[in-house]
A and B are shown apart, each in its own frame.
Chain A
């Protein structure tokens, strides 16, 4: 049970998911650190994987940690999904090593929904699981994210863009250029070409594919920029009596939009490519974010997304 506001906000979010959404939630954690579980079922463990622990070795060494135990609950069929706001790399490693990979998948990736006003979210893959990637991995990320968007959001033919520094196929690193060539040759993907950083919000495509290093930098840049803009706006509104009066009118309309676009209402990111459901919530998740992550995990389970992903990767198509 990790996260910046664990255990309080995590348990509160889980309790809300039970009360407000009717979900069945199991808490996995160290009893002595957990405090009051608010009447929820608990699977006790004895170890904690810290935010700065090495992902691979920590999963191997701390076999009785909450992350490893949660992944085992999914593997063993005792839970339909796991949700974590803890160490992202260790979450991926736990899911990978305990649940295993879906057939043909080289490496799982993180699909983070980026909200769009009055539209389904754009899915950014990889948002941070794989700092170094090969072109074949990016092709698989695009395939899996397209399947996810189709299955979960009902977008029949998702548009896929490749993040680069220009629209032309000749722009970008060797990784981007080779990935462009492979994606363009695929008949089963609706690849529309390169997109740029400015296309992250609001995105003209349904899926943006990139390596995990770039994706994570883009995601965090976006998050920081939006916070800055909103804080600046609120500062301007507070300038004097006139602006405050205008703010009284404006905020009634601005705040609901801000809430709709906030990370806590998006429900976390799905780890694509493992043989089970693993939703990664923001490290700074509050109770609302955890409740929404649990909601998304449940929706993914009921929608049979993992089974649809199972037949997504066809290695011969990427050649």
Chain B
């Protein structure tokens, strides 16, 4: 593997990333971020979700240049699981 090659992401790694970033935004610990609990029940309002989207786009650009979450897709992302599944499909993670 060359020095600038980035290891592919697993679904578990995406989950960890989403959890960590949402936890930071909500001032919680990652362990408090359950995968199936709706964002709204975790205390994330629309602005927090946009913070999450922008943070994910920045982090995931390392794996896929210009990684972008379409605004039209945001309504369908209601939980951490939704977000992880969405990213996994976009990055073609098995």
Contact = CB atoms under 8 A, between A and B. Distances in A.
B26 A106 contact: yes
Contacts of B46: 56-57
B27 interface: yes
A105 B26 CA distance: 9
Nearest to B51: A97
Contact of A315 (B26, B27, B53): B27
A93 B43 contact: no
A304 B65 CA distance: 38
B57 to A, nearest CB: 10
- Name A's interface SS: helix
Interface string A44-59: 0000000000011101
Given A104-B27, A106-B27, A315-B27, A59 B50 contact: yes
A132 interface: yes
B16 interface: no
Interface residues of B, number: 12
Interface band, chain A: 10 to 19
A254 B27 CA distance: 49
A134 interface: yes
A301 B53 CA distance: 31
Interface in B11-70: 26-27, 43, 45-47, 49-51, 53-54
A56 B27 contact: no
Nearest to B26: A106
Contacts of B26: 106
A319 B15 CA distance: 28
Contacts of A60: 50, 53-54, 71
A55 B45 CA distance: 12
Given A106-B26, A106-B27, A97 B50 contact: yes
Given A132-B45, A134-B43, A57 B27 contact: no
Interface in A119-161: 132, 134
A48 B26 CA distance: 30
B71 A56 contact: no
A107 B53 CA distance: 17
Contact of B71 (A57, A97, A134): A57
A104 to B, nearest CB: 7
A57 B53 CA distance: 11
A23 B85 CA distance: 51
A90 B62 CA distance: 28
Contacts of A93: 47, 50
Contacts of B47: 55-56, 93, 96, 107
Interface string A71-113: 0000000000000000000000100110000001111000000
A198 interface: no
Interface of B: 26-27, 43, 45-47, 49-51, 53-54, 71
Interface of A: 55-57, 59-61, 93, 96-97, 104-107, 132, 134, 315
Given A57-B50, A59-B50, A60-B50, 11 more contacts: A56-B47, A56-B49, A56-B50, A57-B71, A60-B53, A60-B71, A61-B71, A96-B51, A97-B50, A106-B26, A134-B43
